[in-house]
A = this chain, B = another copy of it.
Amino acid sequence: MARITGRLPQGGAVLLGPGDDAALVSAPDGRVVVTTDLLIEGRHFRRDWSSGYEIGRKAAAQNLADVVAMGADPTGIVVGLGLPPEAATDWLDDLTDGFRDECDLVGASVVGGDVTRCDLVVVAVTALGDLGGRAPVTRAGARPGDVVAVTGRLGHAAAGLALLHGGRTEPVGLIDAHRRPQPPYARGPQAAALGATSMLDVSDGLLQDLGHVARASGVGIMLAPEAFAVPPLMEEAARLLGADPLEWVLSGGDDHALAATFPEGVRLPPEWTVVGQVVEGDDVQVRGRSPERGGWDHFRK
């Protein structure tokens, strides 16, 4: 552990860092947000497709995105690592640096962990956050009439993964998006302050994730397909692979964009794009798109 902890500066929220039975983290709000994700080699990442550093950043990112999606500010993460012998050296250093640098983006720290031998790489991350007196923004508060808005990238990681599966190494911008998501961290607390009625991070694809909001809130959601701009890089990738780029945008996960609903009439900053509306109902529909089209069924999984 000394190898790891020596690479990990401790931020202001850390009252007791790695090295004891447990860490101690500031929770000034009197409540603590907590979320966990388990990443398994071969299922969530491949060491020949991503570096240790990229895997560390991605594992931290997906948990930190869950924290900001509640409207909270991340404070710290703990990591459980299962490592084969050959990964317990420089590769581990890179992984650790990835955790650290991703946490650094949001002012959080790696406050503790556990390392054990395993035949394949296992990365378990738990992230904590503080609400700063705000109410948590759950999936359950959307109301008919609310607008649906997104911020961050959609479909980039899915396009990158499709390119890798197709044996491609370009466009690099999309492949990098698979290797290292860039969640729009600051916009989680921002959305909470703007009065978001529901929010989540897009990890399984927008249609599927908005399905969670629809179910939890007891509403329907109608999306406007023309609101989704398909960037030129993605058009290019879709041509290369013979794919439908809107399918990546609507059903691709792993970019960790944020999707939220806001009261009608809210003035949203330009980094948020309105993509639809909350309606009476119980499912997610894309206007003009038949339910039989790809992407539609995904959210029922």
Contacts and interface: CB of A to CB of B under 8 A. Distances in A.
Contact of A20 (B24, B70, B112, B127): B70
B114 A34 contact: no
Nearest to A140: B20
16 contacts: A19-B216, A21-B66, A21-B200, A22-B67, A23-B33, A25-B32, A27-B29, A27-B30, A27-B32, A36-B78, A36-B112, A36-B114, A39-B116, A80-B124, A118-B122, A124-B124
Given A43-B117, A80-B80, 7 more contacts: A22-B33, A22-B127, A32-B128, A34-B111, A38-B115, A40-B117, A124-B124
Q: For this complex, into which size category does the number of interface residues on chain A fall?
A: 35 or more
A259 B136 CA distance: 39
Contacts of A117: 40, 43
For the complex of A and B, 3 pairs with smallest distance between CB atoms? A38-B80, A124-B124, A22-B35
Given A19-B216, A32-B128, A118 B43 contact: yes
A139 interface: yes
A124 B38 CA distance: 8
A69 interface: yes
Interface centre among A32, A43, A78 (most CB of B within 10 A): A32
